[in-house]
Copies of this chain bind each other. A is one copy, B any other.
Amino acid sequence: MKVKIGKRIKDYRTVWWDKEIVNMIDQTKLPGKFEIYKAENYRETADAIKNMVVRGAPAIGATAAFGMAQAALEFTGSDFEKLKLLMKNAEKIITETRPTAYDLFHAVNFVKKNIKNFDSVKEAKEKALIASQEYADKSAENCRKIGKSGEKLIKDNFNILTHCNAGALACVDYGTAIAPIRFAHYNKKKIHVFVDETRPRLQGAKLTAWELAQERIPHSIIADNAAGYFMQNGEIDIVIVGADRIAGNGDVANKIGTYEKAVLAKENGIPFYVAAPLTTFDMNCKSGKDIVIEERDMNEVLYIDKIRISPKNSKARNPGFDVTPARYIKGIITERGILKAGEVRGI
């Protein structure tokens, strides 16, 4: 993704490897400050995941893979069994950071699988690094393909609504829901993006708006309450959101509020698309009913940026995600093209 620093524009990934250091755009500092967080070993990398320096399933995955490579390279002995022991410990520490993030396990397993067939420490260390880089590159490449596929849905003069941050910051690069928007902009289409601020954590106002601002993609932040108004007034042509998990029948779990936008889009005859790599599909879940929704800390609702906005005796409910039934979704934009919910089982 492009980042504007002073008058210069530079290409960045959300997370990258450089001389045994895992570098991340520090998302806890955005949009106020652009800072790079440098994790010097796998423990620091795990801390960064835990403290949400990096967030978003694909970005967490790539970071975890790099963390596993750090663990391997940290080993100075020559006993392969001891290396495996160290990596087992690293795996535990890394996977315990965000236990509900599916990609985290996927990424750690990918690195483990790649070193399994070696018995020389040297080869295993080399392969761990190669595998983690491969994982990150593949993730970025999938998003690029999602962008290319989805771009066709966006016509000149379109107003696009998006929810939360399914942008480059949530991935290694490009983003999922934001990738088609990015490519439409690169192709000189005249577009405007409505960005749901996405309470309680405000990832839309803080992260998506920041990404769009870097590339000067015209956008307006709106209160989550206002999306329906703009749909009703014919000001929104298409909705594109990301996904945290997609069930076998095409039901989509995503950030809380996604379901509301999907219902409103249907009511107003506006096409509603989900953009996600195929790794988001979880065939172990037959339908959305099988997806457990995490209720998060109520203080995310009762406070904003550490300021209490509510009476001291009031409580809150804070579901982190919701499930949008497949019938509200026109298509799922993947690295293999745009699928209908019914086609999910075929792949």
Q: Do the beta carbons of B314 and A213 come within 8 Å of each other?
A: yes
Interface residues on A, range: 35 or more
Chain B residues with CB under 8 Å of A311's CB are 31, 206, 209-210, 213
Once the chains are docked, how many angstroms separate the CA of A226 from the CA of B219? Answer: 24
One digit per residue, 1 when the CB lies within 8 angstroms of any chain B CB and 0 when it does not, for chain A 287-330 equals 00000010000000110110111111111111100110000000
Q: Cα distance A323–B228 when bound, in Å?
A: 10
| Residues of chain B lying within 8 A (CB to CB) of residue A312 | 31
Taken together as a complex, chains A and B put the C-alpha atoms of A194 and B315 apart, in Å, by: 10
Q: A31-B311, A196-B225, A210-B314 are in contact. List 13 more A-B contacts (CB 8 A).
A: A199-B199, A199-B224, A209-B310, A209-B314, A212-B314, A220-B315, A221-B310, A223-B301, A225-B256, A225-B257, A229-B319, A230-B317, A232-B259
Contact of A223 (CB < 8 Å), options: B200, B229, B293, B323 = B200
- CB pair B223–A199 under 8 Å, yes or no, is yes
**Chain B residues, CB < 8 A from A257:** 223-226, 228
Interface string of A238-273 (1 = CB under 8 A from B): 000000000000000001110110011001000000
Bound CA–CA A209/B304 (angstroms):
16
Whole-angstrom distance between the alpha carbons of A305 and B309 in the complex? 8
Candidates B222, B230, B309; contact of A205 at CB < 8 Å: B309
Of the candidates B222, B304, B313, the one whose C-beta lies within 8 Å of that of A309 is B304
Do B316 and A222 have beta carbons less than 8 Å apart? Answer: yes
